[in-house]
Structures are given as structure tokens and as C-alpha cells.
Structure 1
Amino acid sequence: MKRDINKLTNQEYDLLIVGGGVYGAACAWDASIRGLSVALLERDDFGWAASSNSAKIAHSGSRYLQHADFKRMRESIRERSLIADVAPHLIDQKQPFMFPIYGHGIKGRETMTMYFAIYDLLSIDYRRKKDPARAVPNSYVISKEEVLKIMPGLNPEGLTGGVIWYEGQMHNTERLTLSRVLSASERGADVANYTEVVGFIKSGNAIVGVEAKDRVSGEIITVRAKTILNTTGAWIVKTLNLSGENSKDHNVHASKAFSFITRPLSQEHAIVISHRPIYDDEYAIINKKSNLSFAIPWRGHSLIGSLHLPCDDDPNKVTISEAEIKAYIDLINEGYPAAQLRREDILHILWGIIPADKKGSAAPLKHYEILDHLQEDGWEGVISVVGVKYTTARDVAQKAIDLVLKKLKLKSVKCSTHQIPVWGGDIEYLDEFTNQAILKESERFNSEVIRHLVRTYGSNYAKVLSYLDENPAWAEVIPNSNIIQVEVIYAIREEMAEKLVDVVLRRTDLGTLGYPGDHSVRVCGELMAKELNWNNSRLELELQEVIDSYIIRPTPEVVYQ
């Protein structure tokens, strides 16, 4: 995947996608497979915003039963299963969750047993897999004593047991987004990060292209297309307003959500913590008197989330404050006093801006929206996608590209993203593939390095290692990680990494648990500086940008560890 800005100006595309998050990536992948000529522009880096700040869960929609929303639940179950089919290296389908049950009423043992029996029934056709490692077990009820072993210190009064069910856990959501971009590029899509759309080109009532600024060179280019798909997430309305006419808000409003990465609160199980409600769920059949947070085991830590709060509709004005961080810590400690979370336990904060159900609300939008702006605003050639969940992006992209084909008056071509592996996903039996890779590379690397390479690059890990023929010294492991130096080189040459922060946070998982320390970041920075001919001033700016990307800034003790 090579960045070629000039190539973007040489043709009229069938489809220009503005926004390179998970929805833009999924749409580019789908459209390119169906034979459309595709361009994808992203103002920053691919998957840099809300797409990288998920709970790392391929969510099956178990909570949708409270709304009797069986359709949405089935969609989520199906999409979780399909991610495991097309990107097996990036997801584990067997992450157990445990929900404590109190009493015998509407949320009691009998009701929850029936609740999850329905859940199992609705997911039965997606739980079985050819590869046993990808099969999803049934849910089951456990005793009060077993619950207290998993959550010691939980209030035992009225506790009647718990229920265990399973969700898919993604090892690296940033890589899944990138893998879809890489897949689209392999199919002929022209993609570019750090390319900001600054204006629309109009012909009558039609939008026929965009003016875009290459944020690397500063050059302004023109990209023409028959259809423009706006997948800019929280920036959707701002993007529409580039037409020069203020668009109506289309009821697209913002809510912010954030999660903590902290010391582990549990070992094997993700635990459910009930706490005071932050927002009312007016669509729930059951009147809830609490909200739920999840403490999910992830890479030896707990990922706790998510807290939803109202925010300004202008994403450039949204931040996470210290008061909000403290308030969430207090909520977790009230719901599960045994957690005893302290501010210094918070290693990293993941946050993003998601669609809200109405202006000024903390409650997230329940359903995605695909807006045809010929109907909405009288503009021909523009469609917007308002996405809600990471897990179901592929399904929403399928529906969006169906509409694109219809508007282009092209012959309908069936979507096949549910069965074609993404870049690196061509693996039939994951455990067998991993063990063979470990055996093959045992003389060069320890098993943990190879597991990391397979989990990151899947069936294409050997392409990364092939660069060692040029310089065997790149086989050295970056301090405090399982990442090897050649991954930095590969990210620059083959994955369009333009900045140090791209490598630290999105091409590798070096910085996704929190700031990894000066030494590790500088090793990456010096590799990039040599490869891209950065001078010392540029290198120092890049190092500082990595630090500035964290809400929790490194203390001297962390920086120099």
C-alpha cells in the first residue's frame, strides 16, 4: 500500500469515501471487491479517532434482549461470527463474561436463565465453527459461591448466582481497520491518509468531487467522483457543511465515551459492575435503575468501560476532564468496592465521540443511519453513513454500497465481504498455523514474538520478516515489548505510516496499553528518522507528539523506566 497523491487526480472514481475509520475502511473494502473504482481519503491516520477507542469486544448484542430487539441482536451475533471467519488472527471468540444475579424477580436467577437461553437459541447457527478454536460455548448459570470466587468482595446479600456467557475479544482493533484498508488497496482502491477534504466541487445540484489538502506536502488537489460517501463519524455534519451551505443537523448529535486501562480486576472472566445510571434508556422494556460497566481482561490488564457523557456536537471542542475521570473511578468503586481503584491505577484512557440519540444526551444512538442527501438536502451524489458499533461495520457497509450501486445505475453485484478473508486473514486453523510458525522461526525468535507477529499480521507475517534479508539487525526486539524493529520499517514502506504516532498506536500495539516509555519510543523514532530522512528537530517533534496523544501524560518515573 503506497501513498500516491498525484494518482488521485488522474481519473473520475465511481466512489470517493471521505473518512478512514472502521466504516470508511469497510466501505472501501466492499466497494473494491464489487468492482467499483474507489478512492479513500482520511484527514489524519486510518482508524485514529473513535475506531481505535473501542472496548476491544466483538459484541454479540446480548443486552438487546432487554429491548426485545431480536433483529439487532441477530445482526451483532452474525457479525461477530463473520469477523472470526475473515480475520481469525485478530479475534478470540471465547472471552467469558460473568454477570452477578440477585434475588428472584425481573433480574433474578430464573429470569436470567430464560434470558440467556433465548440468547443461545438466537445464536446457535453462528456458534459452531469448522475450527474448534473459533467455536462459541453456550452460556450457563453458576452458583453464588462460584460468583464470589470470580468477584471476591462482591456484596453477598441477596446474591443468588451468576451467568456466564461469551463475547469475541479483538486483540487489536486498529489492525482490523487497517487490514480492511490494505484489502481495499490490494483490490485496486487508491487510499491516502493525512489528506483532508477542504471543499466540495459542485455542478448544479450535484457534488462531483472534492478539493483536498495533502497535509504532508501542503499541496491542494482535486479528486473527482460520481458518488461521495461521507463516513467521517463525529465530523459528518462538518464535512457536509464544506458544500458552502449549512446543512441541517439531520439529528446527528454527539455523545462521548471513555474507558480505562488499569491493573487487572479479574483474571479469566470479564466482570459486570452495576452502578448508578448516567442516562435513562427510554427504549428498555425493563426500567433500569443502574447502568453496567465491564472490567474486561486484556493483555494482562483490565479494560473498564464505557462511561457515556453528553458533549458538544463540535468534535474539536470535546475533551475528557480530570473531574470526569474521577467521577468514573468513584462510580466503579461504588458498584464494586473491592476494586479500590485509585487515580494512579489508570494507565491509559481510550475515548471517542459517538452518535447520540438526541442533542445533549449521553445515551448512544441505537441504530445506524444511511442518509441519501438527494432526499435530505437535494444534493445528488452524496451519501452519509452514521455508524454506531465497531462490530457491525461490515454489515452497514454492505447496505451502503448496495445504495451506491443503485444510485450509479450499475448492475447489482452481491457483497462477499462475509466470506473473503481480510489482509492476513487466510488462516483455516489458527492454533495449528501459530504452532507451525513458532516451529519454523524457533531459531530466530522466541514463541511470544512469533505469537505477536501472527496476531498482528496473520497469514502475511512472513512478508514482514522478509525485510530482514535487507538488514538482519532489524530482528532486534524493541524494549518492553514483543515487537521487532523490522515492523517499523514494514509500516513505513508497506502500510503508509507517516508519523511516529502511527507506528506506536496503530501499526503496532507498542503504545496501546499506555505510554511505553521514552526508550522504546525513541528506538522507533530513530528507525523512522533514518528511513524517512528526518532531522533531529523533526524527530523531537515526533517524540513529543506521541506523548501529547495520551490523556494521561507520562510521569518521570514512567518515562525513564
Structure 2
Amino acid sequence: MTRDLRRLADTKFDLIVVGAGFYGVTVAWDAAQRGLAVAIIDQDDFGAATSFNNLKTLHGGLRSLQSLNFKQMRLFIRERRALARILPHLVRPLPFVVGTTRNPKRSSLLMRVAFAINDAVARDRNEGLADPGSHLPGSEIISREEALRLNPVISPDGVTGGAVWYDYQMISTDRVTLSFLLSAVDAGATAANYVKANRFIREANRVVGVRAEDSLTGNTFDIRGSVVVNCAGPWAASMLTDLPQAAQGAPPPRLSRAMNLVTRKVVNSHACGGVAGGRYLFMVPWREVSMLGTSHDAYDGSPDQLKVSRWDLEAFLKDAREAFPHAGLTTSDVRLIHRGLLPMVSGDGHDVRLLKESQVVDHARHGLPGLVSVFGVRYTTARHTAEQAVDAVFRSLGHAKPPPCRTAETPLLGGSMNHVDNFLKAVLLRDVAGIGTDTLRRIASTYGTGYDQVLQNARDVPALARPLGRSCEVLGAEILYAAQREMALKLGDAVIRRTEAGAAGHPGTDALERAAAIMARAHAWDEWRIRNEVAEVEAFYRLPRD
């Protein structure tokens, strides 16, 4: 994947996607697979904003059961299954457990009925999944003793039993996002990070492209296309402000700030639910850490000014201690703060009602053809929303009937395998000099069927077969692969999003410095640039002090 700004400027595309978060990359993949000439840009790195902020889970719409919205439940169930089908190495089952109480809303009887309905609605949850390791078991109601054993971080007071159900966990959401993007590029799309769309270009009352700016140099240029899809996430609304009021359509949703924390390892096999202020928080096991989420607050500021204060962090930890008193969480346990902005229906302070379903706005219906805006909400249903958006693109291109979408069945790059365990067993039969079985398993699980391209770097330069640092198992070969093949232009791109080195917290100064040295050789950085890149990553991990 090569950053070719000349190609962006010189090509007339069928579709330009503004924003390469999860919604943007799913749109690009769908459109490229259906044969369109696609360009996709992002003002930052791919998936670096709201898409980076999540609990790594894919849900089956259990919350939709509360409002008896079975249509929405079925959508979540289908989309959860689709992601398990097309990315089997990055999506694995994860059990959840919550305690039951004498509160009628959380009683064993209500849970038993609710999960019986859930299992019935999701009866085909494993249909078409060839890998038994991807199958989700049914739910169960368990005893008080078992509930407290599986969920040891909640208070035992008032607990009468427990409920266990299964969803999926993404081993790496960043690799999931990147897999969609790499698949789109493999299908012919042109992608570039650090390219900002400053405004839409309009001619004859139609959007025909974007005025773009290279964020690294400040150079501006035009990108021309028949249709533009505005997938700019929290910036999507501000992209519309220069348009005539009528063309903007209905007022875009307001924003809420979502926050998740990466902490020391607290829970093990199960994602544990606890109640604070009448709502559930979850502690999710992930790698050798735990993730805590999710906190929501109304947000009225600019997306560019999003930050988390010390007070915000302490308030969230206070809720966490209420939900999980036996976890003993303090500020010193926090390794990384995730934050992002999501569309909401209404909100004031902590009382937030999120938008329940993503919105696709075809501005042709408001007098401005050539522009489609997407306001996305859920990671799980992004593929379906992308399908709707690309259908709208084809209509804008004059197709009465869009060609069929195949993204629910087509494996993404790295995901062409029927049985993950058999794939890993075959990989581990190989003897790769200098690389142990645990590292080999991790690389194969991360890169799927493309793992050998990473190992080639280690074979070419044996020194790259070494881990980056004393407490960081990522190899130098992975950093070089990110720089050469995955458009990692900055140190943070490679350390935080392309590899596992810093995704769960600071990888260690030794690892950071070695990764910077590898990036420097790949991109011809001087010492000043190296110091600045390291400083930028250090600032990313720094917890708020005020």
C-alpha cells in the first residue's frame, strides 16, 4: 500500500471517501469490490480517532431486546456473524457474565426469560461458519457461587446467581480496520493517510470532489470524483457547514464523548459486568490487560479539542469502583485512555441517549447530488451501513438497481481460512530460524494468511527477528513491514495501530527507541525527526494532570 498523492490528484474517481475510520474503510471495500474506482483519505492515520476507542467487542443486539426491537436484534446477529466469517483469525468468542439480584429488572427469572428469547432470535448465529471455534454457545443461568467465581470483581451483596452469554472479541480492532482498507486497496482503491478534505468542490449544483491538503507538507490539491461519501465521523457535520442550509438535510446528531480505559489485568476468562448509577459497565479481558468501559458524556466542543481531564478520569474510576469494588482500581492502574465522539439523540452531563441506528443521508434528496453522508454508531453494524451507503452511491451514478453487495461473505485479506486452529497448527509445524512458537502463533493470529510476508523481513535481516524490547514481544520485522507495506508514516502509526507493540499501553522506552530507529531507516529520518516522533508517542500515553 503506497501513498501516491499524484495519483489522487490526476485520477477522476467514481467515489471519494472522506474519512478512513471503520465506517470509511467498510464503504471503500464495498465500493471497490463492486467495481468502482475509489479514493479514500483521512486527515490523520487510518482508524486513529473514534475507531480506536472501543472495548474490542462485537455485540449481538442484546440491548435491543429491552425495547423488543427484534428487527434491530436480527441485524446485529447477522452482522456479528458476517465479521466472524470474513475475519476468522481476528474475531473469537468471548463469554460475558453478570450477577442476578432480587431487583425485578435484574432477577434470575427475568434473565432466564430474556436470554431464552435471545437464543431463539439468534438461533442461526453460527449458520455458515465453517470453523467450530467461531461458534457461539447458548446462554445459561448459573448459581451464585459460580457467578462470583467468574465475576469476582463485583460485590457479593445481594447477588442471587448469574447469567452467562457469548459475543465476539476482536483480537485487534486496528488490524480489523486495516484489513478492510488493505482489501479495498487490493481491489483497486487508492488510499492516503494524513490528507485532509478542507471542503467539497461544487460545480453546476453538484459535488464533484474535494479540495485536499497534505497534512505533512501543507500542499493543497483537488481530488475529483463523481460522488463523495462523507465518512468523517465527528467531523462529518462540520464538513457540511459550507453547503446551503437546505442541502444539508436534517440537522446532524449532536456528539457525546465515549471513554474506555486500559488497566492492569483484573479479569481473566470472562467479560464481567457491574452496575454503577443504574447502568452496566464491563471489565473485559484483552491480551495481558483489562479494558473498562464505557463512559458517556454529552459533548458540545470541537472534535479537534477532544480531551480527557484528570477530573474526568477520576469520575470514571469512581463509577468503576462502584461497579467493581473488588477490583481495587486506582489511577496508577490505568495504562491508556481511549476516547472518541459518538452521535447521540440527546444528552446532558452523564445522561446520554446514543443514536440507536446509523444514518445514511443522500443529499440528492435535498437538492445536492453527488454527496452522501454517513453518521455511524456501532462497530458491529458498520458493514451493513456501508452497503446502504454504496447503494446510494450507485443510485447517484444513475444505476436504477445497484449491483449486489458481497462483503458479508467475501473473506478479507488474511482471512481466507476455514478453521483457525488447523491453520495455526500448520503454521507451527514450520521451523523459522530465530522465532519461537509463541511469537509465530501471535504473528499468524494477527496477520492471518499474510503472516509469511512479515516473516520474510526477519529472514532477510535476522536482527529484525528479535523483539523490540524487554517487555515488548513485537518484532522489528513487524515495524518494518508496517513502514514499507502498510503506510505507517509516523512512529505512532506503527507502534500503536499497525502492531501490538503499544496498543495496550506504553511498550517500554527500549522498544520505542528501537522501533523509531527502524522507522528512521525506512523513511530516512534525521535525529531531529526521531526525537520528535518519540516525543509525540510519549505524549500519547501521558495521563492527564489537570
Please indicate the TM-score interval, normalised by the length of the shorter structure: over 0.9
Relative to structure 1, the CA distance from residue 340 to residue 416 in structure 2 (aligned partners, 3 Å threshold; closer, same or farther) is same
Within the alignment, does 1:341 sit opposite 2:329 as a pair?
yes
User: 339-348 or 50-59: which moved more?
Assistant: 339-348
Which residue in the other structure is 1:497 paired with?
488
Which residue in the other structure is 1:384 paired with?
373
Structure 1 CA distance for aligned equivalents of residues 180 and 28 of structure 2:
8
Deviation at 1:488, TM superposition (A): 1.3
Which residue in the other structure is 2:102 paired with?
103
Q: Secondary structure at the match of 1:89?
A: coil
Q: Secondary structure at the match of 2:210?
A: strand
Q: Secondary structure at the match of 2:356?
A: coil
Structure 1 segment 326-405 matched on structure 2, within 5 A: 326-358=314-346, 360=348, 362-376=352-366, 378-405=367-394
What TM-score results when the alignment is normalised by the length of structure 2? 0.95
One-letter amino acid of the counterpart of residue 341, structure 2: I
Structure 2 CA distance for aligned equivalents of residues 196 and 357 of structure 1:
28
Deviation at 1:359, TM superposition (A): 6.1
Given that residues 347 and 353 in structure 2 are in contact (C-alpha distance below 8 angstroms), is that contact kept between their aligned partners in structure 1? no
User: 95-104 or 243-252: which moved more?
Assistant: 243-252
Within the alignment, does 1:315 sit opposite 2:303 as a pair?
yes
Structure 2 CA distance for aligned equivalents of residues 144 and 420 of structure 1:
43
Which residue in the other structure is 1:280 paired with?
none
Which residue in the other structure is 1:52 paired with?
52
Which residue in the other structure is 1:254 paired with?
255
Deviation at 1:48, TM superposition (A): 0.3
Q: Secondary structure at the match of 1:2?
A: coil
Which residue in the other structure is 2:118 paired with?
119
Deviation at 1:375, TM superposition (A): 2.6
Structure 2 CA distance for aligned equivalents of residues 109 and 407 of structure 1:
51
Deviation at 1:513, TM superposition (A): 1.1
Q: Secondary structure at the match of 1:483?
A: strand
Which residue in the other structure is 1:76 paired with?
76
Deviation at 1:400, TM superposition (A): 0.7
Structure 1 segment 49-448 matched on structure 2, within 5 A: 49-93=49-93, 95-103=94-102, 105-128=104-127, 129-152=129-152, 154-243=154-243, 250-276=251-277, 290-358=278-346, 360=348, 362-376=352-366, 378-410=367-399, 412-441=402-431, 443-448=433-438
Given that residues 405 and 412 in structure 1 are in contact (C-alpha distance below 8 angstroms), is that contact kept between their aligned partners in structure 2? yes
One-letter amino acid of the counterpart of residue 257, structure 1: A
Of 437, 442, 459, the match for 2:449: 459
Structure 2 CA distance for aligned equivalents of residues 550 and 404 of structure 1:
39
Q: Secondary structure at the match of 1:370?
A: strand
Given that residues 90 and 445 in structure 2 are in contact (C-alpha distance below 8 angstroms), is that contact kept between their aligned partners in structure 1? yes
Relative to structure 1, the CA distance from residue 145 to residue 87 in structure 2 (aligned partners, 3 Å threshold; closer, same or farther) is same
Which residue in the other structure is 1:559 paired with?
none
Deviation at 1:358, TM superposition (A): 2.8
User: 381-390 or 478-487: which moved more?
Assistant: 478-487
Deviations 1:424-464 (CA, angstroms, capped at 9, x unpaired) = 11111101111111221354311221122112211000112
Q: Secondary structure at the match of 1:208?
A: strand
Structure 1 CA distance for aligned equivalents of residues 126 and 523 of structure 2:
47
Relative to structure 1, the CA distance from residue 243 to residue 518 in structure 2 (aligned partners, 3 Å threshold; closer, same or farther) is farther
Q: Secondary structure at the match of 1:175?
A: helix
Given that residues 198 and 242 in structure 1 are in contact (C-alpha distance below 8 angstroms), is that contact kept between their aligned partners in structure 2? no
Deviation at 1:63, TM superposition (A): 1.6
Given that residues 472 and 508 in structure 2 are in contact (C-alpha distance below 8 angstroms), is that contact kept between their aligned partners in structure 1? no
Structure 2 CA distance for aligned equivalents of residues 18 and 151 of structure 1:
42
Given that residues 307 and 328 in structure 1 are in contact (C-alpha distance below 8 angstroms), is that contact kept between their aligned partners in structure 2? yes
Given that residues 18 and 40 in structure 1 are in contact (C-alpha distance below 8 angstroms), is that contact kept between their aligned partners in structure 2? yes
Structure 2 CA distance for aligned equivalents of residues 170 and 220 of structure 1:
37
Given that residues 452 and 483 in structure 1 are in contact (C-alpha distance below 8 angstroms), is that contact kept between their aligned partners in structure 2? no
Q: Secondary structure at the match of 1:210?
A: strand
Which residue in the other structure is 1:478 paired with?
468
Structure 2 CA distance for aligned equivalents of residues 253 and 420 of structure 1:
35
Which residue in the other structure is 1:283 paired with?
none
One-letter amino acid of the counterpart of residue 545, structure 1: E
Structure 1 CA distance for aligned equivalents of residues 420 and 397 of structure 2:
40
Structure 2 CA distance for aligned equivalents of residues 485 and 196 of structure 1:
30
Given that residues 212 and 221 in structure 1 are in contact (C-alpha distance below 8 angstroms), is that contact kept between their aligned partners in structure 2? yes
What TM-score results when the alignment is normalised by the length of structure 1? 0.93
User: 484-493 or 22-31: which moved more?
Assistant: 484-493
Given that residues 97 and 151 in structure 2 are in contact (C-alpha distance below 8 angstroms), is that contact kept between their aligned partners in structure 1? no
Which residue in the other structure is 2:506 paired with?
515
Relative to structure 1, the CA distance from residue 346 to residue 167 in structure 2 (aligned partners, 3 Å threshold; closer, same or farther) is same
Q: Secondary structure at the match of 1:362?
A: strand
Taking only aligned residues, the RMSD between alpha carbons, in angstroms, comes to 1.8
Structure 2 CA distance for aligned equivalents of residues 168 and 257 of structure 1:
20
User: 466-475 or 55-64: which moved more?
Assistant: 466-475
Structure 2 CA distance for aligned equivalents of residues 539 and 192 of structure 1:
22
User: 148-157 or 31-40: which moved more?
Assistant: 148-157
Which residue in the other structure is 1:279 paired with?
none
Deviation at 1:232, TM superposition (A): 0.4
Structure 2 CA distance for aligned equivalents of residues 172 and 424 of structure 1:
13
Q: Secondary structure at the match of 1:16?
A: strand
Deviation at 1:210, TM superposition (A): 1.1
Deviation at 1:219, TM superposition (A): 2.1
Structure 1 CA distance for aligned equivalents of residues 375 and 77 of structure 2:
20
Structure 2 CA distance for aligned equivalents of residues 177 and 156 of structure 1:
39
Q: Secondary structure at the match of 1:396?
A: helix
Structure 1 CA distance for aligned equivalents of residues 465 and 433 of structure 2:
12
Within the alignment, does 1:525 sit opposite 2:513 as a pair?
no
One-letter amino acid of the counterpart of residue 357, structure 1: V
Given that residues 30 and 386 in structure 2 are in contact (C-alpha distance below 8 angstroms), is that contact kept between their aligned partners in structure 1? yes
Deviation at 1:481, TM superposition (A): 2.2
In the TM superposition, structure 1's runs of 4+ consecutive aligned residues that sit over 4 Å from their partners are 242-249
Deviations 1:248-300 (CA, angstroms, capped at 9, x unpaired) = 77232100011111123322111111011xxxxxxxxxxxxx11100011112
Deviation at 1:68, TM superposition (A): 0.9
Given that residues 9 and 223 in structure 1 are in contact (C-alpha distance below 8 angstroms), is that contact kept between their aligned partners in structure 2? yes
Q: Secondary structure at the match of 2:343?
A: strand
Given that residues 96 and 167 in structure 2 are in contact (C-alpha distance below 8 angstroms), is that contact kept between their aligned partners in structure 1? yes
Unaligned runs of 5+ in 1: 277-289, 555-561
One-letter amino acid of the counterpart of residue 330, structure 1: K
User: 24-33 or 408-417: which moved more?
Assistant: 408-417
Q: Secondary structure at the match of 1:159?
A: coil
Deviation at 1:243, TM superposition (A): 4.7
One-letter amino acid of the counterpart of residue 426, structure 1: S
Structure 1 CA distance for aligned equivalents of residues 46 and 156 of structure 2:
46
Deviation at 1:313, TM superposition (A): 4.6
Structure 1 CA distance for aligned equivalents of residues 451 and 243 of structure 2:
43
Given that residues 253 and 313 in structure 1 are in contact (C-alpha distance below 8 angstroms), is that contact kept between their aligned partners in structure 2? no
Deviation at 1:60, TM superposition (A): 1.3
Q: How many residues in Structure 1 have an aligned counterpart in Structure 2?
A: 539
Relative to structure 1, the CA distance from residue 448 to residue 242 in structure 2 (aligned partners, 3 Å threshold; closer, same or farther) is farther
Structure 2 CA distance for aligned equivalents of residues 79 and 61 of structure 1:
10
Unaligned runs of 5+ in 2: none
One-letter amino acid of the counterpart of residue 116, structure 2: A
Structure 2 CA distance for aligned equivalents of residues 547 and 397 of structure 1:
35
Given that residues 263 and 302 in structure 1 are in contact (C-alpha distance below 8 angstroms), is that contact kept between their aligned partners in structure 2? yes
